[in-house]
Structure 1
Amino acid sequence: MPVVSKITKSKGMGIFKSFFTGILIALVCFVSPEPGFAAKGKAASPDALYEKARNSYYQVLDSPTAKLDRQNWLKTIALFQAVVDQYPSSHQAYKATFTQGLLSLEMNKLSGSAEDENRAIEYFNRVVTRFAPGRLTDDALMHQATLFKNRGEMGASRARLQLLIDKFPKGDQISTARKELKILSKLASVKPSTTIADNPPTPSGRKKEASTETKVDSTHSHSTHSHGKEISGKKKSTVSKPSASKKTLAKNVRLFGLAYENGNQIARVMLNAEGPVKFTQQRLDNPDRVQVTFENGTWDPNMEKVVTLESGILTHVEPKKGDKKSSILMVEMTGAGPVSVTTRSVGNQFVLEFEAIQKAAELEQVIPRAPPIAAKPRKKNGKTLIVLDPGHGGKDEGAKGRTGILEKQVNLEISKRVRKILEKRYKYRVELTRTRDTFIELKDRGDLANKLNADLFVSIHANAAPRKSARGIETYYLGAGAGDRALETAARENGELVGSVEDDEVQQILASLISTTKINESARLAADVQKRLSGVMPRKFSKVLDLGVKEGPFYVLHRTNMPSILIEVGFLTNKFEERRLQNTSYQYWLAESIAQGIHRFIREKGPSI
Structure 2
Amino acid sequence: MFSRALVPLLALLFLLSLASGLQARRSEGPKEAYLKAKKALINFSKTKQVKKRHAWLKIIDNFRRVYLLYPESGYAPAALLMMGRCYEELYGYSGRRADLISAIKRYQVLVERYPRSRYADDALLYQARIYAYKLKRPDKARRILKELLRRYPRRDKAKEARKMLAALRASASKKSRSQKVTKSRTQKDKVRQTAKARKSTSAVKSTASKKPPAKSPSLPVGEVASLPLAKLPPEPVLLKGVRHWSSENYTRVVLDLADKVAFSAHLLRPDPRLGKPMRLYIDLRPALASAYVKEEIPIKNGLLKAVRVGQYRPKTVRVVLDLGSLSRYKVFYLEEPFRVVVDILGEGRPLVKAERPLPKSSGKGLSLAQQLGLTVRRVVIDPGHGGKDPGAIGPTGLKEKTVTLKVARLLRAKLRQKLGCEVIITRNRDIFLPLEQRTAIANTRGADLFVSIHTNASPRRRAYGVETYYLNFTTDEEAMRVAARENAVSQKSIGQLRRILKEIMLTAKVQESSRLATCIQKDLVSHLRSRYSRIKDHGVKQAPFFVLIGAQMPAVLVEISFISNPREERRLKSEKYLDSVAEGIARGIVRYVRETQMAYLQ
Give the shorter-chain TM-score range.
Answer: 0.3 to 0.5
Q: Which has the higher helix share?
A: 2
Bigger radius of gyration among the two: 2
Q: What TM-score do you get using the length of structure 2 for normalisation?
A: 0.39
Q: What TM-score do you get using the length of structure 1 for normalisation?
A: 0.39
